[in-house]
């Protein structure tokens, strides 16, 4: 019996005497919900360029170190974390410990909190890391993976991080900037300087009531333009954008909620439309080390999302 590892699915098969496949069995597949399959995942499954022969089971070397999964909520989250370690098979023990610690912190912060589309925020953060490793093929830098896992932490759970840093409830006298500085220092003490710097850079500028939605969007666009000058920041933000744009849809909880959801959908389209163009342009730069055939797939997806956003906003084709 031999095995192929094809885009995250272990495929075992038996060969006849003439070497032809006699049967195929999918072993431990990663399900649709587990990896939140998207256009990218479909394209990856169709891409056979990274198929590699695995040794027979009796000759495989299995590392003794295993990621701790005890802190994660459910099987979907455990599957995503296992996927990170499968893709990062050459990670050092220190990197394994850091990624496991990041997963534990994410679990504490996010819990069962849902995003607007009804999916768990914890899954979004884990998917961002998996996509960078699996589809962008950036698997050598554990700091990049941890920063991807924690990319929303300062925005979504600032008070909790400040509380961890101070060992007490957050003081009401602290400004937003002070809180971010305290939280960033805490992340640096726990995960190192580079992770802290990237998570801080990835955090969106604070929205102000004095600014109109259009002004806030323009400010956000300028922030992203500066952010993605760094290739590693580009990988994280692109993965985040693709995941967010895949959930750019209406999911009303009731008929009364439909109007509010449509307004939110329009706001998202206004926010993301210029990003699709920006990221397509940046993707072509030589310092972006994503394989060329993957770049073509991403470009196609961004074009599709751009057309979808334009349709929502009533922009003629």
Contact 202, 210 (CB under 8 A): no
Of 246, 257, 234, nearest to 308 by C-alpha is 246
CA–CA dist 169, 33 (Å, integer): 36
Beta strand pairing status for 9-15 and 21-27? antiparallel
pTM of the model: 0.75
DSSP at 150: T
Q: What was the pLDDT predicted at 275? A: 97
Of 32, 224, 50, 240, nearest to 137 by C-alpha is 50
pLDDT, tens only, 245-295: 655 455 566 777 777 778 888 888 999 999 999 999 999 999 999 999 999
Contact 121, 115 (CB under 8 A): yes
Q: What would the mean pLDDT of 7-35 be, rounded to a whole number? A: 32
Label residue 253 exposed, middle or buried (CB < 10 Å: 0-12, 13-18, 19+): exposed
Q: What is the number of other CB atoms lying within 10 angstroms of the CB of residue 52?
A: 8
pLDDT, tens only, 178-234: 999 999 999 999 999 999 999 999 998 877 778 898 999 999 999 999 999 999 999
The two structure tokens encoding residue 265 = 């959908």
> C-alpha 53: how far from its chain's center?
28
Token pair 């937003």: residue:
176
Domains of the chain, residue spans: 211-317
Q: What was the pLDDT predicted at 181? A: 95
Label residue 305 exposed, middle or buried (CB < 10 Å: 0-12, 13-18, 19+): buried
Q: What was the pLDDT predicted at 77? A: 86
Axis-axis angle for helices 193-202, 176-191 (nearest 10) = 150
Contact 170, 159 (CB under 8 A): yes
- For the ranges 39-48, 159-168, 222-231, 278-287, which has the lowest average pLDDT? 39-48
């Amino acid at each position: 019996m031999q095995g192929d590892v094809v885009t995250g699915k272990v495929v075992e098969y038996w060969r006849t005497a003439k070497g032809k496949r006699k049967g195929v069995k999918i072993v431990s597949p990663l399900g649709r919900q587990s990896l939140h399959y998207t256009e990218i995942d479909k394209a990856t499954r169709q891409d056979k360029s990274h198929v590699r022969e695995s040794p027979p089971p009796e000759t495989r070397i299995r590392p003794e170190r295993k990621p701790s999964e005890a802190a994660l909520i459910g099987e979907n989250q455990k599957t995503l974390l296992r996927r990170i370690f499968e893709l990062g098979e050459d990670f050092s023990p220190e990197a394994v410990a850091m990624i496991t610690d990041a997963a534990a912190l994410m679990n504490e912060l996010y819990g069962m909190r849902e995003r607007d589309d009804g999916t768990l925020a914890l899954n979004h953060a884990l998917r961002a890391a998996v996509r960078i490793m699996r589809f962008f093929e950036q698997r050598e830098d554990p700091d990049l993976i941890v920063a991807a896992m924690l990319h929303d932490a300062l925005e979504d759970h600032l008070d909790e991080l400040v509380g961890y840093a101070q060992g007490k409830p957050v003081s009401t006298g602290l400004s937003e900037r002070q809180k971010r500085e305290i939280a960033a220092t805490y992340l640096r003490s726990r995960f190192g300087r580079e992770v802290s710097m990237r998570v801080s850079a990835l955090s969106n500028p604070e929205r102000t009531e004095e600014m109109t939605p259009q002004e806030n969007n323009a400010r956000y666009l300028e922030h992203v333009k500066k952010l993605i000058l760094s290739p590693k920041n580009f990988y994280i933000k692109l993965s985040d954008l693709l995941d967010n744009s895949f959930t750019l849809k209406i999911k009303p909880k009731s008929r009364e909620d439909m109007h509010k959801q449509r307004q939110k959908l329009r706001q998202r389209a206004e926010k993301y439309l210029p990003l699709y163009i920006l990221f397509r342009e940046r993707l072509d730069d030589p310092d972006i080390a994503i394989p060329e055939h993957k770049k073509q797939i991403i470009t196609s997806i961004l074009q599709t999302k751009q057309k979808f956003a334009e349709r929502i906003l009533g922009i003629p084709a």
